[in-house]
Structure formats: structure tokens, C-alpha cells
């Protein structure tokens, strides 16, 4: 099975990047491959757009992609019906290359603005966008959802 997890989903994403971070490091189950591919295609649009706008190499680092229902239950702040369980959601950070050894993070507020613009122009799918102090959540659920999960701010808190 190992070879399949090196499978390239798009130019810059491989399937293992979306594995569950539970103890057994559960890989994305095969029935969810179409979902994770769809998610990766949307993130690839973001990758290309950021590279074009900033004129630098881009790295999107997936903190959390697929989650087993068991792992989702144990994730603090996770929504009960999290799209992570369907491999349609990713929590991530976007970095721009400074030099051979250095990457700097594009602030989540800027990444969010870029995603909103790409959704408006129809190149990224509508979905859920949550901003946190650690980065962004994006899912391609198809319907609009927005939330702010940063601490010490007013507004509804939603799962990550
Ligand atoms: Zn999330």
C-alpha cells in the first residue's frame, strides 16, 4: 500500500499530506480519494494564485487533512460533522520562499482574502473558511460558511 500514498493528486500535493494524524497514521481511505483530489485541486488553485501574485515559490503545509471519526471526536474544537472526516477539509499554512533555507508565512488574513477572491472569480469552490491563530481551515463543501476561531474575539465559534 505504501506506494499509493505517494500518489500525486495535483502538481504540488501528494495524498500522504492529507493523512490522519492519529496514532496509527491512518491514510485517506480509498472511497474518499475523489474527495481528497477535489480538495487538492482547490488548494492547487490557491498555490498557483499566490505564486503568481507574490512572484515567489509557495509551500502550502497541511496541518490536518483527513480525520477518522474517532480522531475527529478527540480533536479539540472540531465540529461533529467535520468535513475533515470526508477528506474535503484542510487546516493549513501558506509559506512564501525567501531563500534556499527560509520560508515566511503569509498571514492567514491575507490567505483568506486571496481565497475569497478566488471563490468570487469561480476558480476555487465555495465552502467553509475558518481563520484561527494557527492558520486557516478551508473545505469545499459547496455552500458558504465563514467563521473566526481566533481567541479573544467576538463572534460565533465554530469547529475547525
Ligand atoms: Zn479544519
CATH of the domain at 141: 3.30.1380.10
**Cα 129 to ligand 1 centroid, rounded to whole Å:** 9
Residue range of the domain that includes 93: 2-148
Is residue 138 included in any domain, yes or no? yes
CA-to-CA dists, residue 35 to 9, 29, 40, 50, angstroms: 11, 10, 9, 23
Is residue 69 included in any domain, yes or no? yes
- pLDDT(99) > 70: yes
Is residue 133 included in any domain, yes or no? yes
Paired sense of beta strands 145-148 and 128-132, if any = parallel
- pLDDT(16) > 80: yes
Is residue 153 included in any domain, yes or no? no
Dist. CA 118–CA 61, nearest whole Å: 19
**Cα 99 to ligand 1 centroid, rounded to whole Å:** 30
pLDDT tens per residue, range 30-84:
999 999 999 999 999 999 999 999 999 999 999 999 999 999 999 888 887 899 9
When divided into structural domains, the chain yields a total of: 1
Angle between helices 108-120 and 33-54 (to 10 degrees): 110
Q: pLDDT value at position 2?
A: 61
pLDDT tens per residue, range 106-144:
999 999 999 999 999 999 999 999 999 999 999 999 999
Q: What is the residue-averaged pLDDT of the chain?
A: 93
**Cα 23 to ligand 1 centroid, rounded to whole Å:** 19
**Cα 69 to ligand 1 centroid, rounded to whole Å:** 13
Using a CB cutoff of 5 Å, list residues around ligand 1, an ion.
89, 91, 137, 160
Amino acid at each position: 500500500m505504501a506506494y499509493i500514498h505517494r500518489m500525486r493528486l495535483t502538481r504540488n500535493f501528494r495524498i500522504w499530506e492529507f493523512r490522519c494524524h492519529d496514532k496509527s497514521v491512518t491514510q485517506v481511505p480509498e472511497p474518499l480519494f475523489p474527495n481528497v483530489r477535489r480538495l487538492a485541486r482547490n488548494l492547487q488553485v490557491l498555490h498557483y494564485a499566490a505564486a503568481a501574485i507574490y512572484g515567489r515559490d509557495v509551500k502550502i503545509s497541511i496541518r490536518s487533512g483527513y480525520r477518522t471519526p474517532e480522531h475527529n471526536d478527540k480533536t479539540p474544537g472540531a465540529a461533529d460533522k467535520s468535513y475533515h472526516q470526508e477528506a474535503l477539509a484542510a487546516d493549513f499554512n501558506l509559506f512564501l520562499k525567501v531563500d534556499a533555507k527560509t520560508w515566511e508565512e503569509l498571514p492567514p488574513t491575507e490567505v483568506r482574502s486571496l481565497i475569497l477572491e478566488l471563490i468570487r472569480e469561480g476558480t476555487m469552490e465555495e465552502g467553509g473558511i475558518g481563520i484561527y491563530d494557527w492558520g486557516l481551515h478551508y473545505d469545499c463543501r459547496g455552500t458558504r460558511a465563514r467563521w473566526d476561531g481566533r481567541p479573544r474575539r467576538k463572534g460565533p465559534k465554530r469547529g475547525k
